[in-house]
Amino acid sequence: MEQGKADRYDAAVNWLKKVKAAYLQLGQKTEWSAYRSQLEAAHGRKRKLMELFKELNK
């Protein structure tokens, strides 16, 4: 995500799904929300990434 390689956003979001599951399994929903917000702030202008990022809310 940092490099702005749009062809790799799918892999990044799949990895973030695993990260989210780990946070939730550890009972750290608040920490996950903070991390997610941080990512959205840093990468919010990357439209393709943000569309894929919406999948993390499901």
Given a cut of 80, whether residue 58 has pLDDT beyond it is: no
Residue 53, domain member (yes or no):
yes
Dump pLDDT digits (tens) for 12-42.
999 999 999 999 999 999 999 999 999 999 9
pLDDT at 36: 93
Residue 40, domain member (yes or no):
yes
Residue 20, domain member (yes or no):
no
pLDDT at 21: 96
Total structural domains within the chain: 1
CB 25 within 8 A of CB 13: no
Domain that holds residue 52: 28-57
One-letter amino acid for residue 34 of the chain: A
Give the torsion sign (CA, 47, 49, 52, 56).
negative
The pTM is what?
A: 0.81
- Directed axis angle between helix 9-25 and helix 29-43, to 10°? 160
Residue 3, domain member (yes or no):
no
Residue 45, domain member (yes or no):
yes
Residue 41, domain member (yes or no):
yes
* Residues with Cβ within 8 Å of residue 47, at least 6 apart in sequence: none
Helices marked H in the chain — which ranges? 9-25, 29-43, 47-53
